[in-house]
Amino acid sequence: MNLAVQSHLSEYGSHPDVVVSAPGRIHLLGEHSWYFKDRTLSLAIDMPVYVLVSLRQDNNLRFYFHQLNERKRSSLPAMRFRKEDRWANAFKGVLSSFLAAGYETQGMNVTIYSDILPSAGFGINSAIKAAAAGALKELIAPKARNEDLVEYIDNANRFFLNSISYLADIYTALFAKKNTCIVTDYNRLSFEIIPFDFPETSLILTDARVPRVTVWNEETLWTAEYACLLGDLKVSRNGVVMYEDSDVEINEVLADVNEDYRRRLICIMKEQALLHDAVLALKSNNFSQFARDVVHSHELLRDLFQISCPEIDWLVKRVIESDMLSGKPLSACSRITGKGFGRSTYTVLQKESLNSYEKRLAEYERIFGFHAVFYEVQTADGLIYRQIG
């Protein structure tokens, strides 16, 4: 945090009035199911984004992203979405929500400090918004509750940024706790915090550096027709909404759906069953069961959802192949994460296997020609209000 404070001081010549951080995140399971009002399992990671703000004596807004060495500017009367402002739009969007709620402010100097850039994924854009909301709460809306911040970020996404509002991202950035993960229920608009505590393991994020090529547009799956079809296949079991598992029933309901989209809808359904099983595994501290669910999820995304690629599949297979060959319970797992079509995986493996994994990455570069970058991360708390000095 001290480096972030020094960055703000060097840029603006004064200390920040407030410093707030929010974590990056990964989705463990279910990130493609939100449109169908299903559940997503997410984990906050210690890739913090710092937002530092000091008030000005005028109506001007100044923005500085230290790692990008980029500066943007606006003013309160002229504040609007501008494509060229990129990362600064996240703060402006949240500020517009506070102003729409009736709060008032003067101009601001804003610094964003993050060692992981938004282009890498891992929820960095959502972390900027969450930290911005926390900073604005401290400065201009001290009576606002943290729960109110969900609404302000959601409004920023919908009305200022004109983008999809992923509640799983918002809940994780705001409310996560160390050694836990968050289950977001899009049907109930609620979340549950459950354990994720495997001290003998390491959590690895790997950027495979594969150029992302979109072979189909996921938004074409987000239609009222498909939502209604999946809604017809939902059943309640022990108070949990699940999908029908009868092939006869599924085939009847999806009989008229194009084969490609039928596979993808079945993937959504099957992964929700895996997510339910994974939550039970985490609650009972059963790592091998959780690992099986993660690996099966990757297979579904590869074969049915069709968003993986040979490079990603190779990385995933190398993590689990020794256990698979020996027939032992899985001691590690790996899966594509994010939008897919290349790029990133998350891996959970035994600490003593980390050196072996690094060697595999060197082999990966020799085979595919891409220099993968990996980060060993920890679980993290959500929004943190930092003390200055």
Q: φ and ψ at 90, to 5 degrees?
A: -60, -45
- Considering only CA atoms, give the Rg of the chain: 22
Question: Using CA atoms, how far apart are residues 169 and 124, in angstroms rounded to an integer?
Answer: 10
**CA distances (Å), origin 312, targets 25, 138, 162, 344, 346:** 19, 42, 31, 8, 11
What secondary structure letter does DSSP report for 242?
E
Question: Which residues have C-beta within 8 Å of that of residue 157, sequence separation ≥ 6?
Answer: 93, 129, 163, 164, 165
Question: Which residues have C-beta within 8 Å of that of residue 342, sequence separation ≥ 6?
Answer: 208, 210, 211, 212, 213, 309, 311, 312
Question: Which residues have C-beta within 8 Å of that of residue 171, sequence separation ≥ 6?
Answer: 42, 150, 182, 184, 191
**Residue bearing tokens 């108070």:** 239
Residue 154 annotated as catalytic: no
Strand intervals (E) in the chain: 18-29, 39-55, 60-65, 70-75, 108-113, 180-185, 190-195, 201-207, 234-237, 240-243, 333-337, 344-350, 373-377, 384-386
Choose among 65, 61, 83, 85: nearest CA to 136. Answer: 61
Note the residue count of the chain: 389
3-state secondary structure of 376: strand
Say which of 46, 154, 169, 185 is annotated catalytic.
Answer: 169
Question: Using CA atoms, how far apart are residues 155 and 139, in angstroms rounded to an integer?
Answer: 19
Question: Using CA atoms, how far apart are residues 289 and 294, in angstroms rounded to an integer?
Answer: 9
Q: Do 184 and 191 touch, CB atoms closer than 8 A?
A: yes
List the structure tokens of 268.
């959504």
Please list the helix, strand and coil fractions of the chain in percent, rounded to the nearest 5, in that order: 45, 25, 30
Catalytic residue ranges: 169
